[in-house]
Amino acid sequence: MDDNASNVLLLEGILQEEDYSAYLSITDSRQVLPIFLEYHPDLILLDLQMPYLNGFEVMKQLSPHIPPEAFLPILVLTADITSEAKRQALAGGAMDFLTKPFDATEVILRIRNLLQTRELHLQLQNQNQLLEQKVRSRTAELEETQNEILERLALAAEYRDDDTGEHTKRVGQMAAQIAQALCLPQVEVELIRRAALLHDVGKIGIPDSILLKPGKLSPEEFSHMQTHTTRGAQMLSGGRFPLLQRAEEIALTHHERWDGMGYLGLHGDTIPVAGRIVAVADVFDALTNKRPYKKAWPRAEAIEEVQRQSGRQFDPRVVEAFLKVVNNSHD
């Protein structure tokens, strides 16, 4: 861009001499922005003293369209320039200066340097993006593997007293729906869906004679059975990922009661919300399904029982959310 047509012709001649052909010359500074937006050039040669918009005003107009990471060089063309104007041009986005009258060698040298720098910059940016993409997909793979292992661990634990493996899945599903109805963040809802699968993982450490006993447990057997919460939490403890941390929390607290009469005696809000949610989902699923020592309750009766326990065994807000979930589903 130079308002002086003979300067433009001169520059074109120099470029042609060096076999550059992808250039566009204009002499009206008001055309810079529309032309820029249409052609997305790799380099701008810009005069400073021009009618309509001077070079500083053009740079100001362009700057919102040139993000810093774009690395688009502006080469300022100028006759004798003061150091104040130079400073101003650099601040406005200029990367180098060409002094008129032009010296062909100097023009080509500057242009080549700036184009090369831009290319290297873009290559680097590309490489960085590729690397970031790789890291992202590796992280996703890692997470996927971790989920798979945890799901298998949950299955292994459950296989001993329910060889279908459906209980943990249903509890995870229901817990996620309750979390959703409580308006927890989506990330948390998904964490709870997966972490809830492991709520009874500590049962791996409970002997068959207790776990599979058809009749009522003796007090000693029952207190042994209760240790599945702390055993599970121990197995899952020290995890670095949020999923393991949430699973540990749920394993430890899913038998806590709102009124403080649960396994560990935690009460109310001191019980982590994930534990309070899984407590409801776990009991509801146990009631509505057959166990060695009891038959399945009708759905309506199980819902009533959960409601009756609001404020006693269960957090009233969680029960409210649970009711929204069961009243919305029609299975």
In the complex, the residues that contact Fe ion under the rule CB under 5 A are: 200
Least distance in Å: CB of 142 to Fe ion? 29
Q: Cα separation of 198 and 152, whole Å?
A: 10
CB nearer to Fe ion: give 47 or 248: 248
Nearest to 51 by CA among 80, 25, 28, 34: 28
For residue 201, CA distances in Å to 152, 206, 220 come to 11, 10, 21
CB nearer to Fe ion: give 77 or 252: 252
Cβ count near 116 (within 10 Å):
10
CB nearer to Fe ion: give 98 or 281: 281
CB nearer to Fe ion: give 47 or 256: 256
Q: Where are the alpha helices (DSSP H) in 182-268?
A: 186-195, 208-211, 219-226, 228-236, 242-253
Least distance in Å: CB of 158 to Fe ion? 11
Least distance in Å: CB of 184 to Fe ion? 22
CB nearer to Fe ion: give 111 or 157: 157
Least distance in Å: CB of 226 to Fe ion? 9
CA-based angle 244:248:251, to the nearest 5?
135
CB nearer to Fe ion: give 200 or 315: 200
Least distance in Å: CB of 173 to Fe ion? 17
Least distance in Å: CB of 149 to Fe ion? 21
CB nearer to Fe ion: give 177 or 253: 253
Least distance in Å: CB of 227 to Fe ion? 11
- CB distance 203 to 229 below 8 Å: no
Nearest to 50 by CA among 62, 32, 74: 32
Residue that has been written with the tokens 């309506």 in this structure: 300
Q: Cα separation of 75 and 73, whole Å?
A: 6
Buried b (16+ CB within 10 A) or exposed e, 144-169: eeeeeebbebbbebbeeebeeeebbb
Residue that has been written with the tokens 């993409």 in this structure: 133
